[in-house]
Amino acid sequence: MLEAARCIVYRDLLLALRRRTDVATALLFFVIVASLFPLGIGAEPNLLRAIAPGVIWVAALLSTMLSLGRLFAADHADGTLEQLALGAAPLGVVVTAKTLAHWLLSGLPLVLIAPVLAVQYDLPQALYGVLALSLLLGTPVLSMIGAIGAALTLGVRGGGVLLALLVLPLYVPVLIMGAGAVEMAAAGLESGGQLLILGALLVFTAAFAPWAIAAALRISLE
């Protein structure tokens, strides 16, 4: 099963390299959205520092959701998804590997570039680690929750709107905890509580989301 998962991750990463524009679109969206707020609000340092955690997290959330449409759609269109569902590897392992590849392409770059974007908001350097850690814990949760919505709306006309309606309410706790961790650290308070909750959400979704995604895919394929 581990070898099958490794092959799926490698395949998805290789296909993404051949379609670089899809990956670059979500990353550029994140950069543009996070960069527009300082231009629109002005150069008031205190205000920028106050809104930085929320703006960066909202931009990361929307960027992750923007890339969910390609998670299963291409494999469904060419019949690969049906073959994977009928293969020897459990479908839960398959979707875990595909979700991991999605996070490596759409979530990990956000974690790496977020501290650079935080410079625009005059965020203290001491908070860069908390921001990156909150995104490192939170973005995989966003990918796994989004994968459930992507599986449920697979092949549905107007699925993008329905996908947003399904996953956005479930993203709210992750958004609150992620932005709250940075805000607590900025106020000089302990941010470990929010980070621990994000870690607990990550463990919970990693344990149960693959099987929910697999069940949603079987429903969509039928």
- Sequence length of the chain is 222
Mean predicted confidence (pLDDT) in 9-26: 85
DSSP H helices, the chain, are 2-18, 20-41, 45-66, 73-77, 80-86, 91-106, 108-118, 128-152, 159-186, 192-221
On whether the CB atoms of residues 33 and 63 are closer than 8 A, the answer is: yes
Q: Which two tokens stand for residue 94?
A: 């398959």
Q: What is the mean pLDDT of residues 167-175?
A: 93
pLDDT of residue 158: 66
Give the Cα separation of 149 and 165 in Å (integer). 9
Q: Is the pLDDT of residue 22 over 80?
A: no
pTM exceeding the 0.75 threshold for the entire prediction: yes
pLDDT in tens, 49-75: 889 999 999 999 999 988 887 788 878
Do 36 and 127 meet the contact criterion of CB atoms below 8 Å apart? no
Long-range contacts of 107-115 (CB under 8 A, 24+ apart): 107/64, 107/135, 107/139, 107/140, 107/142, 107/143, 108/139, 109/27, 110/27, 110/30, 110/60, 110/63, 110/64, 110/135, 110/139, 111/135, 111/136, 111/139, 113/27, 113/30, 113/31, 114/56, 114/60
Confidence of residue 134 (pLDDT cuts 50, 70, 90): very high
**Cα 146 to Cα 150: distance, rounded to the nearest angstrom:** 6
pLDDT above 80 (res 156): no
Question: How far is 222 from 120, CA to CA, in rounded Å?
Answer: 49
Quick: pLDDT tens for 188-205.
888 889 999 999 999 999
pLDDT band for position 154 (cuts 50, 70, 90) = confident
Q: Which of 3-7, 22-26, 76-80, 135-139 has the highest average model confidence (pLDDT)? A: 135-139
Which pLDDT value is given to residue 76? 80
For residue 200, the tally of other CB atoms under 10 A from its CB is 12
Instruction: Give the pair of three-digit tokens for residue 27.
Output: 């990353």
